[in-house]
A and B are shown apart, each in its own frame.
Chain A
Amino acid sequence: MEAHNPEVSRRRFAILGTQVVGAGVAIMLGVPIVGFLLNPIFRPRSITEHVVGYIGNVPADTPTPFEFPFNPQSSWEAPLPDYLIYVVRFGSGLDQVRVFSNICSHMQCPVRWESTLKLFLCPCHGGLYDLRRVNVGGPPPKPLPQWQHRVDRDGILYVTNRLTEQI
């Protein structure tokens, strides 16, 4: 225990004070900044539906492209171009419809259906997916992501702005 010395404790007070002020400034600035950076990830996104059309118009076993207006983020209003979805009908039942995105599971390049190959091809690195969205060739590690959708009793297909899995 050092002897009580007014000079030493004054220094220690100043040191402590500087540290407290520094911490206070860091918190005052840091919390809002970090909060703002993280906010868009945790902001609730409104789920919207988009009418695609009558499912009977889609030929069987043929991925058919449709344009899909999609606001990708909870952000201010901005004129955004459409996304592309592929609607596949495997049979006549209402539950035999699938809605695939064109987002490659490798690096998210735009995938396209090649009717000559009967496969989805990703032009970036040669990834291949079959009719059932399974990754069958090239580097993609997972199948093509799907959009949540529903088909009502009249056979109208609605696609939501939610994927069925985390990408």
Chain B
Amino acid sequence: MRRMAGATLEWLDERAAIRYLLRKGLYEAVPVRGAWFYTLGSATLVLITVQLITGIFLTMLFVPSVKEAWESLDYIRQHDAFASVVRGIHLWDAYLLLLVLGLHMVRTFSSGSYKRPRELNWLSGVGLFLLVLAMAITGAMLPWDQAAYWTAVVTTNIPSYLPLVGSFLRDLWRGGTFVGPITLVRTFGIHVWLIPALLFTLIGAHLALLRKHGEFGSYVNYRGAYRSYEGREVPPAPAERPIEPPYPSTPSEEEWSAPLQTEDFYPFQTFKDGVVSLVCLLIVLALALGIGAPLEDPANPAAISYTPTPEWFYLPLDQLLVLVPKELISLVLFIPLGGVLLLVALPFIDRGPERNPFERPAVIVPGAIVVLFIVILTLLGSGRLFNL
């Protein structure tokens, strides 16, 4: 039995370089300390994969037509418990994905993992963040119940505040001035094909870049960390130890280029990744079984007493919409765009070598203020909606 396995491996190795691929994939070096924080990236990937899988099966039960969208979902709500759970997993996984993605961004921001030579990794990450947000909002528009319909109306209206091209972009998405059947079917195509295609490409680039430069990890793994501690000796460069691939990363400061101690990705990091991903999936499953995915009444523009409420991840923008007076209405678009621009510009603003977040207050303090600002707007928005 063993000999057959060995022979198969030889056969595959000669034709597909299996051994090389396995070694490259599984036995890459990762930094030792702070490894539980690095699991956030893989948790994000696992949650996106679950979205893909549940999404594929949802396309087998959902019809993107203005009449049958709600009816197909109402039918499974009443007659198909398994499909309802799949739908519930798709919803709660989306919510948890946004949270974990936010934590991943905070982690990579604090650890300075966007610095040279990993700027492209950060930029592809910003693109991924925007694409995931786009997936969340286009997905919310599909069920064509009251919540989805009004989400579609308000969301497709946002581009109209862009100067000059705003109305044109809105009509392009809607398929006309008003939301209607064309809007639903276009949003379906965007959600199921267009954005996932872009997502796959960017995820591939994100992972390839990660593999090229190696996981940066946390500043505590590097010689550079010791310089800022008063009265501590800087350990010598690990000259005698062989530098495992993929380190050292290409021209960078010598004291931040290779971690002092590394271990194999498999099994040490994969174990931690597995535990965190499992916890995430358990949470998603518990929420899907306990609460499930709601379905309101069918879309009805004539319902006099209906109050559209936004999805929770939309609350900061919604609170901005409440606060910004009509004379300054374009701020509603320019404040979030400004935020995205800051994200994109980050690796070019903070170019210094220092990776310790406690030694980079000029970057961490405004970043913390921005995060606090978003959290506060979310809290205020939730209070406002509760007291409507």
Q: Do chains A and B touch in the complex (CB under 8 A)?
A: yes
Minimum C-beta distance from B94 to chain A (A): 23
Q: Indicate if the CB atoms of B299 and A81 lie closer than 8 Å.
A: yes
Q: Indicate if the CB atoms of A108 and B182 lie closer than 8 Å.
A: no
Q: Indicate if the CB atoms of B153 and A108 lie closer than 8 Å.
A: yes
Instruction: Name A139's closest neighbour in chain B (CB-CB).
Output: B326
CB within 8 Å of B: which A50-79 residues: 65, 67-68, 71-76, 78-79
Please tell me the size bucket of the interface on A. 35 or more
The interface stretch among B261-269, B304-312, B367-375 is B304-312
On whether A112 and B180 interact (CB within 8 A), knowing A78-B65, A78-B67, the answer reads no
Q: Indicate if the CB atoms of B180 and A80 lie closer than 8 Å.
A: yes
Docked CA distance A71–B177 (Å): 11
Main secondary structure on chain B at its contact with chain A?
A: loop
Docked CA distance A148–B325 (Å): 30
1/0 per residue B294-335: CB within 8 Å of A?
000011111111111000000000100110111001000000
On whether A125 and B182 interact (CB within 8 A), knowing A81-B302, A83-B301, A141-B326, the answer reads no
CB within 8 Å of A: which B176-232 residues: 176-183
Q: Indicate if the CB atoms of B176 and A40 lie closer than 8 Å.
A: yes
Q: Indicate if the CB atoms of A76 and B181 lie closer than 8 Å.
A: yes
Q: Indicate if the CB atoms of B154 and A108 lie closer than 8 Å.
A: yes
Q: Indicate if the CB atoms of A82 and B321 lie closer than 8 Å.
A: no
**B172 touches which one: A38, A84, A138 (CB < 8 A)?**
A38
Minimum C-beta distance from A69 to chain B (A): 10
Q: Which residues of B contact A67 (CB under 8 A)?
A: 302
- B55 on interface, CB distance cutoff 8 Å: no
Docked CA distance A166–B318 (Å): 24
On whether A37 and B172 interact (CB within 8 A), knowing A139-B321, A141-B326, the answer reads yes
What is the interface size of chain B, counting residues whose CB is below 8 A from a CB of the partner?
Answer: 41
Minimum C-beta distance from B171 to chain A (A): 5
Minimum C-beta distance from B19 to chain A (A): 37
Docked CA distance A68–B300 (Å): 12
**B66 touches which one: A74, A78, A107, A138 (CB < 8 A)?**
A78
- B113 on interface, CB distance cutoff 8 Å: no
Q: Indicate if the CB atoms of A109 and B301 lie closer than 8 Å.
A: no
Q: Which residues of A contact B167 (CB under 8 A)?
A: 166
- A27 on interface, CB distance cutoff 8 Å: no
Minimum C-beta distance from A78 to chain B (A): 5
- B175 on interface, CB distance cutoff 8 Å: yes
Q: Indicate if the CB atoms of A123 and B308 lie closer than 8 Å.
A: yes
Instruction: Name B298's closest neighbour in chain A (CB-CB).
Output: A81
Minimum C-beta distance from B324 to chain A (A): 6
On whether A41 and B326 interact (CB within 8 A), knowing A76-B181, A80-B180, A82-B302, the answer reads no
Q: Which residues of B contact A108 (CB under 8 A)?
A: 153-154, 157
- B92 on interface, CB distance cutoff 8 Å: no
Docked CA distance A138–B327 (Å): 11
Instruction: Name A112's closest neighbour in chain B (CB-CB).
Output: B304
Q: Indicate if the CB atoms of A84 and B302 lie closer than 8 Å.
A: yes
Q: Indicate if the CB atoms of B181 and A73 lie closer than 8 Å.
A: yes
Minimum C-beta distance from B320 to chain A (A): 10
Q: Indicate if the CB atoms of A107 and B157 lie closer than 8 Å.
A: yes
1/0 per residue A125-147: CB within 8 Å of B?
11000000001001111000000
Minimum C-beta distance from A151 to chain B (A): 22
- A124 on interface, CB distance cutoff 8 Å: yes
Docked CA distance A106–B154 (Å): 9
Docked CA distance A76–B180 (Å): 10
10 A-B pairs within 8 Å (CB atoms) are namely A41-B171, A41-B172, A72-B176, A73-B183, A81-B299, A107-B157, A108-B157, A123-B307, A139-B326, A141-B329
Q: 6 closest pairs, A vs B, by CB?
A: A72-B178, A73-B180, A123-B307, A72-B180, A40-B175, A84-B302
| Interface contacts beyond A73-B181, A78-B67, A125-B321: sample of 13 additional A-B pairs, CB < 8 Å, sorted by A | A40-B175, A41-B172, A41-B175, A71-B180, A73-B178, A73-B180, A73-B183, A75-B175, A75-B182, A80-B66, A112-B305, A141-B326, A166-B167
